[in-house]
Structure 1
Amino acid sequence: MADNGENGSDANDGHDGERDHEDCEEKREEENERRENCERCDRADSRADPPAGNVTLSLDATLELLANHDRRAIISYLRDASRRTATADELADHLVERRAERTGERPGRSHVLSTLHHIHIPKMVDAGVVDYDARTQEIRYWGSDRLERWHERIETSDEQ
């Protein structure tokens, strides 16, 4: 249908100004929402990390987590990391190196990463000792008193 100006769409009728105003309002609302989200993140980041021991694990759950070499290596790595965090890629690299040192064989990195995503991280999240942010692939370690004590015992006996 041809526009002959009779349907009220004349460019000088003031509607463009209203649309510009609506666009500005939308952008302002989006910016305010983004700012609020950032402030929430800043407040969360500014809180002190909870100390190890906030999670209470049964003895069975503790031993199940520690029954695997890779999970023990993950716990060691996260416990020693700054802010007790690491990305899945950092953990995969660490596990590849550690297994190569321990067994003399270098596993495929993609296999290790897959195992992290499908086995170790979910098991540790379910136990409550780590949080996982799928967007950033960051793992944060919260720990547990019992887990820390048993981990230390196992690591000490592995060194002897």
Structure 2
Amino acid sequence: MTDTGSDRDEGDGSSGGTSFDELLEVVADQHRRSVLYCLQDTDGDVASFEELREHLLAHDLDDSKRATIALHHRILPRLEDAGLVEYDARSDTVRYREGDLAERLLDRLADVEKR
């Protein structure tokens, strides 16, 4: 087996530059997956920080402070690092940056989770 020295997809950009392994790692977390599902379901793939926090409270977390901290310090930074979202702190909005690979994977996971 030959190591090319890169874990990134270089080809068609269908996953936004995120390798398949990295994408699997990102969506393995239920809270990150939940935020991505929420963003997929919004008009224009954009939601406010508050909308995402409320979504987490309704579906995953039961404490407002915990949801805020998780979203701000763990969930959004990891999704942003993977190139799946853009978070604009000034406008307090999060934009989903859909890619073909991410879309297909999330759709399959949603079918399995029966969301």
TM-score range, shorter chain: 0.7 to 0.9
Task: Identify, as 1 or 2, the structure richer in helix.
Answer: 1
Query: Scaled by the length of structure 2, what TM-score is found?
Result: 0.81
Which residue is equivalent to 2:99? 144
Contact 1:56 1:145 in 2 (8 A): no
User: Aligned partners of 2:36 and 2:101: how far apart in 1?
Assistant: 13
Q: Residues 131, 97 of structure 1: CA spacing in aligned structure 2 closer, same or farther, 3 A cutoff?
A: same
Query: Scaled by the length of structure 1, what TM-score is found?
Result: 0.59
Alignment of structure 1 residues 56-67 onto 2, 5 Å: 56-67=17-28
Matched, 1:120 2:75: yes
Q: What CA deviation, in whole Å up to 9, does each residue of 1:130-153 have, x standing for no partner?
A: 111111211011122111111111
Structure 1: unaligned runs, 5 residues or longer: 1-52, 100-105
Match of 1:76 among 29, 37, 44: 37
Structure number, greater radius of gyration: 1
> What RMSD over aligned residues (CA atoms) do the two structures have, in Å?
1.7
- Which stretches of structure 1, 4 residues or more, deviate above 4 A after TM superposition? none
**How far is 1:54 from its partner?**
6.6
Which residue is equivalent to 1:19? none
Number of paired residues? 102
Structure 2: unaligned runs, 5 residues or longer: 1-13
Match of 1:55 among 16, 33, 38: 16
User: Aligned partners of 1:83 and 1:151: how far apart in 2?
Assistant: 17
**How far is 1:56 from its partner?**
2.8
